[in-house]
Amino acid sequence: MPKFIILLGPPGAGKGTQAKLVAEELDFPHISSGDIFRENIKNGTDLGLQAKVYIDRGDLVPDELTISMIRQRLDCEDCKNGAILDGFPRTPAQAESLGMMLADFNGQVNIVPFINVPEDILVKRLSGRWICRAEGHVFHELNNPPDKFGVCDFDGSELYQREDDKEETVKNRIEVYFEKTRPLIEYYKKAGLLQEIDGDQPINEVVKELKIVISRVI
């Protein structure tokens, strides 16, 4: 019976990177809904063209269309034993739809790791990025600071901060995430599937913990 893992985590938790590392180590496919959208749009598939209409308007892609893309991806040979899903579902209603779809593959959601990181840490991680105007070299106030504040180490150009990297914008992104995702977290918690992972530790430790949790069900 195929096993399915839903990976949850707020912006700045490193969820995408961790999912890829775990998937590689366990030889288990990592399926990102964002990657599926981009792949279908790039290849001009019927589903991709339909999704592009909504995306170009700035609207959310309807659940039915997203589910159809995920169904198509899960029907591939590499997913015969299951997959790690990242980016979908986002709401309890989507979780219900996904559950019904997985049943068609004789599978179900087996575990939902939630990479939890304190909000103040998330803000520091996401709001510390600075980029040089000349070549786009990236620095971070905490993890990779420049030798001289505001100046690129490589070409001496000015460092600037993008709007979406500013603290106020970052705080809003995090608040929106938790506001929209809290019901989904509660949904899987009530189902006895949620497994919290401490995301406030080095990435190799987070990956190690994730691997242990996921290995229990696959």
pLDDT digits (tens, 9 = 90+) for 180-210: 899 999 999 999 999 999 999 998 999 999 9
User: Could you give the CA distance from residue 162 to residue 80 in angstroms, rounded to a whole number?
Assistant: 42
Q: What dihedral do alpha carbons 77, 21, 86, 205 form, nearest 10°?
A: 140
Q: Is the pLDDT of residue 59 over 90?
A: no
- The answer to whether 112 and 8 are in contact (CB under 8 A) is yes
Helix (H, G, I), strand (E, B) or coil at 156: coil
Gyration radius of the chain's alpha carbons = 19
User: Could you give the CA distance from residue 29 to residue 102 in angstroms, rounded to a whole number?
Assistant: 15
Mean pLDDT value across residues 21-36: 91
pLDDT recorded at residue 143: 83
Q: Quick one: pLDDT band at residue 218, thresholds 50, 70, 90?
A: confident
Domains contained in the chain, CATH given: 3-117+180-215 (3.40.50.300)
pLDDT digits (tens, 9 = 90+) for 120-179: 999 999 999 999 999 999 999 988 999 999 999 999 999 999 888 899 999 998 998 889
- The answer to whether 9 and 114 are in contact (CB under 8 A) is yes
pLDDT recorded at residue 186: 97
Nearest to 129 by CA among 137, 139, 119, 142: 139
pLDDT digits (tens, 9 = 90+) for 173-185: 899 888 989 999 9
pLDDT recorded at residue 58: 79
Side-by-side strand order, sheet with 159-160: 138-140, 129-132, 159-160
13 phi/psi in degrees, rounded to 5? -80, -15
pLDDT recorded at residue 180: 87
DSSP 77-132: GGGTTEEEEES---SHHHHHHHHHHHHTTT-EEEEEEEEE--HHHHHHHHH-EEEE
Q: Quick one: pLDDT band at residue 81, thresholds 50, 70, 90?
A: very high
Residue numbers annotated as active site: 15, 90, 129, 162, 173
pTM (predicted TM-score): 0.86
